[in-house]
Copies of this chain bind each other. A is one copy, B any other.
Amino acid sequence: MVCKIPEPGMKLMEYQGKDLFRRVGIPTPSGVFATTAAGVKDYIAGHPGSWVIKSQVMMGGRGKAGGIKFADDAAQGETLARELIGKVLKSIQNPDGEEVKSLLVEEKVDIASEAYVSITIDRAAKKPVVLVTAQGGMDVEEVAEHNPEAIAKYWIDPAAGYAPFIGRRLAFAAKLPEGYRKAFPALLGALYTLFMEYGANLVEINPLVLTRDGRVIASDAKVDLDDNGLYKHPDIAEWNKQSPADEDQAAAVAIGLGMSNYAKFDGTVGIIANGAGLGMGTMDAIRSAGGEAANFLDIGGGAQAALVKKSYNLVTSDPKVRAMFINIFGGITRGDQVAKGIVEAVAGDDVRKVPLVVRLTGTNAEEGRAILAEAGFVPVETMDEGAARAVALAQGAA
C-alpha cells in the first residue's frame, strides 16, 4: 500500500526489539523496562550505578528532542522519569510529537567505538542485504550520502543462509576496529536468524557499541516485522494489539482488512476500491478530476458483502468525507457481493449517508448492477467518469 513504502510492517519499540535480540543471543545492555517513575526509582535503588533513561517512542531523533536522560542515583532517576513519562517529544521528523508512555533504564556503558549494522530486504534481488559501517551512532543516510564507500554491503543467498565469513568480510570491508572482530560474525549470524525467523523487514543496531572493557553490545534496537509473517509468532502479534502503532492500521484490522489496506488523507472524496493498484489509480483519477482523496481503502480480493458494508462505515466515519466513490473491477471480487454490501450499508439507519458514486464492472458485474438498479443506484461506466462525478458531488456538498 501507498503509505508504508516499501512494505507494510509492524514496528517494534526499542525494548521490544531488544527482547528479540536476547532471544537470539545478541548482547544488550543490562537494565529494566518501566512504565512508572516508582519503577525506575526502585530499580536504580537496587542496582546502584550510572543509568541511562530512554523514552520508548517510535519517532526518530528522540535524543535531540530531550527523550534521553542520565541518572546517577535513585532519586534523580525518579525525578527524570516523572519528567519524561507523559511528555510529548517533537522532532523534525515528527512535528506532531509523540507521547512518552514507557521508559527503558539501561547501564551506561563506557563507549570505545560505535558501529552500525542492519539487515533489510532487497526486493529487486529477492535477498536480505546487510549494511555495515564503522560510522555508527549517526544517521546512516548521511553516511550514505557523504561517504558511501564507508558502507559495506553483502547480499545473503537465502538458500545457503548465513556463514561466519560474511561477518568477517563485512567487518574488514567496513574497517570496524579490531575489538569488534571476534564477536561480530556470531552477532551478525544471530541478527540474521532474528531477521529470517521473525520475518523482519528491517533489523538495525545503531549504535553497535564496543565498550572499553571489550564487549560488543547492541545499544539501540530497531525492528520492523513483516505483518504477513506475524501469524508464526502469536506472542509478538499480541504486542501490537496491545498498543497499535498506527490508528489507521488498527481500524483496518478491526474490520477484518489487512493492516495496510486503509489509510486516511486530507481530501474530501472517500474511496473504496478492490486492489491496491486500482485504489491508487482511483486516487489519481480523483486528483485528475480536480479533487483530493480522503482515504485509500482496498477491500482486497474476493470481498464479501459484510466487508463492503464495514468498509463503507469506516470511510464515512471520517467527517471530512463529503462524497464516496466505490470503484470495483471484478476479478476474484464478485460484483454481486459488492453490490449487496453497498445496498446493505446504505440501507442501515446507523450510517452516515454521503453522496455515492458506484462503478462496477468485471466478474459478476451484470448481477451486481441488477442488485444496484433494484435499490435505485445507477452505476457510472468508467473510472474517469466516476471520479469526475464524485469530485463534483463533494464540492457541491461543501
Q: Does A5 contact B (CB under 8 A)?
A: no
Nearest CB of B to A178, in Å: 27
Q: Does A397 contact B (CB under 8 A)?
A: no
Q: Does A124 contact B (CB under 8 A)?
A: no
Instruction: List the 2 closest A-B pairs by CB distance, nearest first.
Output: A159-B159, A159-B160
Complex CA gap A160/B158 in Å reads 9
Which residues of B are found within 8 Å of A160, using beta-carbon distances? 159
- Nearest B-chain residue to A158, judged by Cβ: B159
- Nearest B-chain residue to A160, judged by Cβ: B159
Chain multiplicity (copies): 2
Nearest CB of B to A280, in Å: 34
Nearest CB of B to A299, in Å: 31
* A 158-180 contacts with B by CB, 8 A: 159-160
- Nearest B-chain residue to A159, judged by Cβ: B159
Which residues of B are found within 8 Å of A159, using beta-carbon distances? 159-160
Nearest CB of B to A164, in Å: 14
Complex CA gap A82/B159 in Å reads 53
Complex CA gap A160/B160 in Å reads 9
Nearest CB of B to A345, in Å: 40
A-B contact pairs, 2 of them (CB 8 A): A159-B159, A159-B160
Nearest CB of B to A25, in Å: 14
Complex CA gap A286/B160 in Å reads 46
Complex CA gap A159/B160 in Å reads 6
Chain A 148-164 per-residue mask, 1 if CB under 8 angstroms from chain B, else 0: 00000000000110000
Complex CA gap A160/B159 in Å reads 6
Nearest CB of B to A156, in Å: 13
Chain A 66-85 per-residue mask, 1 if CB under 8 angstroms from chain B, else 0: 00000000000000000000
Nearest CB of B to A367, in Å: 37
Complex CA gap A159/B159 in Å reads 5
Nearest CB of B to A160, in Å: 7
Nearest CB of B to A350, in Å: 43
Nearest CB of B to A114, in Å: 32
Nearest CB of B to A196, in Å: 12
